Structure 1
Amino acid sequence: MDDLRRIDLNLLLTLHALLAEKHVTRAALRLHKSQPAVSHALAQLRETFKDPLLTRRGAGMALTPRAQDLLLPLEAALQQLNGLLHEGAFDPGQAVRRFRLAMSDYAAHLVLPTLVKRLRDQAPGIDMVVCQASREAMLAQLADGEIDLGLGVFPDTASGIVVETLFEEHFVSVADKRSLPPRGKLALDKWLARPHVLVATRPDTENEIDAALAAQGRHRRIALVLPHWRASTEVLAGTDLILTVASRTLDHLPDEQGLTRFTPPFELPGFAFQQAWHVRREADSAHHWFRSVVMDCSRPIQQVARK
């Protein structure tokens, strides 16, 4: 208790913002404070913890090992204090909060329009910051407290990560109609003989399609790797390329593109699209509410998928 008397608890809120944002200006915006005030608080915190906490690295700033050790316990402590003050109650209409999410443009296209409208209608004080990351990066960011929620496919999760299925998906292939036989299908050998497009954040990323082929002792040639789901269909017209993607990627595929979708000529299991968070968020009533809204915004997708 004596140690607590030496520090203003408001400084802990500033510390949390600084460690989460790794940037004085962004922390100031998050706290609705001036940059000089946050810089002054950082100096106080450095003196209190006898550590720089944030150090210059290239064009940005990085956490010191001591700051890394502080981040997760600090988040847990602040959530517990918030729970004591509010007795677990959460009023979305009055809440002021920022949620940090990671997702692909596939998830952004499907979920964000409905989610943003819901927040503007029901919780105008809640902001979102959305970034794009691979599933491995999302899991690391969740563990490190850099994001609050990840949307993606998580067949293997790290310790402390909780997942919830938003909807079920399956794969389809798509190609320029003029490059396909009259019936719009290809046998496996002809499918494998064609060049393919892979949507991935990194060219060496493991994916369900090539894993299923490898299980049969087969492989395909990847002629193009790109990280954008929507752009992946736009490159197909006038080429012999084949794209195999989650079916919902093609929901708004314009007819004038002259593309045809078809079932891949080999067994390719479906998959669950999920939201993931760290177990330390379980007691956070605001986070629980936000997850329920994301789930609710995914229900129309579930209904279409079942048709």
Structure 2
Amino acid sequence: MHGMNGPLPSDLNLLLVLEALLAERHVSRAAMRLNRSQPAVSHALARLRDIFGDPLLVRGEGGLQPTARALQLAGPLAEALALVRSMVDPPTFDIGQCSRHFRLSLSDYGTAILLPPLVARLRKAAPLIDLSVVSYGRDRALAALIDGEIDLAVGVYPELAAAGRRDLMSDLLFRETFACLSDGAVQPGALSIERYLARPHVRVTVALEDDSEVDAALARLGHKRRIAIQIPHWSAAPDLVRGTDLVLTAAKRSLEALETGSLRCSEPPFRLAGFPFVQTWHRRREKDAPHRWLREEIALAARGSTGEREPRRS
């Protein structure tokens, strides 16, 4: 493997142990993942430390934390093991007998529209596949893909075109537009740009540093709205709007079903471009058959939510 200090490990299983430890950050969980004993994994870690001349994983808050050297190895390690697996895996596989654990980053919005149909399909067609879902901010999700911490990220990622993201591939699931949710009983009448700017707003974002397409569009027009409430969870937002003067500007598909009682869903009172909703993954996973199958299932779930499928891109 490129960049190793010292001789290559003579036992490929050592690299499998390192992969599991980097993923689980815990010796016991790595042992369970590998179906090996905890002492065996600890012994393998000691051998890996000798081979690489580095502690690789050190105790920290919440478990083991990778050293800089371990993070440097994560990408080449994943690529090497993916290549080996592609050599030994059969050309076809039985998804019904496939046992895998996938880690996905999904927003509340993505979870609500994609996860129910996806999980229903998995339970029937692939009952041995397990999913762990996290909700990372945009930068962290893309960094986690590059580091091999997660397998797929589904959401809005305008950063994909930036330099340094060339190893990330993507599939356009659908294009989404914005809408505004407000309580018509509190302040009746059309939501003009003047009224929009005069009212306080709810903003849903996982990470404080994530840019908002809404605020960027307003800034281009020389305007700025007041964010009175910022929360990371989509599910609470509609109840914050109900009975208040707050306005929620979010994906139209997520708001239309909430137009009940006095809640009103309306077009934004200013030009606001739509945005692509994508799934993205690292190039090293491109030829991984179960991973490819999962991507296709996510695309099918997205098609069910929109009624049509967008053309694929990468």
**TM-score computed with the length of structure 1 as normaliser:** 0.92
**Could you tell me whether the CA contact under 8 Å between 1:196 and 1:220 is conserved in 2?**
yes
1:104-156 CA-to-partner distances (Å, cap 9, x unmatched) read 11111111111111111111111111101111111111111111100111122
Identity of matched residues, %: 47
Residue 235 of structure 1: SS of its match in structure 2?
helix
**Could you tell me whether the CA contact under 8 Å between 1:229 and 1:249 is conserved in 2?**
no
**TM-score computed with the length of structure 2 as normaliser:** 0.90
Change (3 A) 1:305 1:86: closer
Matches within 5 A, 1:236-247: 236-247=241-252
Q: CA deviation at 1:278?
A: 1.1
Change (3 A) 1:305 1:270: farther
Partners of 1:28 and 1:129 lie apart in 2 by 18
**Could you tell me whether the CA contact under 8 Å between 2:74 and 2:148 is conserved in 1?**
yes
In structure 2, the residue matched to 1:292 is 296
1:190-247 CA-to-partner distances (Å, cap 9, x unmatched) read 1110001111123443111011111111111110100111211111111110000101
**Could you tell me whether the CA contact under 8 Å between 2:57 and 2:70 is conserved in 1?**
yes
Which aligned runs of 4 or more in structure 1 are off by greater than 3 angstroms?
1-4
Partners of 1:82 and 1:73 lie apart in 2 by 14
Q: CA deviation at 1:66?
A: 2.1
In structure 2, the residue matched to 1:280 is 284
Partners of 2:85 and 2:209 lie apart in 1 by 43
Partners of 1:189 and 1:102 lie apart in 2 by 37
Q: Is 1:270 the equivalent of 2:274? A: yes
Partners of 1:41 and 1:134 lie apart in 2 by 34
Query: In structure 2, which of residues 146, 169, 183 is the aligned counterpart of residue 176 of structure 1?
Result: 183
Partners of 1:288 and 1:75 lie apart in 2 by 16
Q: Is 1:65 the equivalent of 2:68? A: yes
Code of the aligned partner of 2:132: V
In structure 2, the residue matched to 1:54 is 57
In structure 2, the residue matched to 1:166 is 173
Code of the aligned partner of 2:47: Q
Code of the aligned partner of 2:89: H
Code of the aligned partner of 1:280: R
Q: Is 1:142 the equivalent of 2:145? A: yes
Partners of 2:303 and 2:37 lie apart in 1 by 41
Partners of 1:26 and 1:65 lie apart in 2 by 22
Structure 1: stretches of 5+ with no match in the other structure: none
Code of the aligned partner of 1:285: A
Partners of 1:100 and 1:205 lie apart in 2 by 21
In structure 2, the residue matched to 1:303 is 307
**Could you tell me whether the CA contact under 8 Å between 2:136 and 2:207 is conserved in 1?**
no
Residue 93 of structure 1: SS of its match in structure 2?
helix
Partners of 1:171 and 1:294 lie apart in 2 by 22
Residue 307 of structure 2: SS of its match in structure 1?
helix
Q: CA deviation at 1:88?
A: 3.6
**Could you tell me whether the CA contact under 8 Å between 2:256 and 2:265 is conserved in 1?**
no
In structure 1, the residue matched to 2:191 is 186
Code of the aligned partner of 1:295: A
**Could you tell me whether the CA contact under 8 Å between 2:303 and 2:309 is conserved in 1?**
no
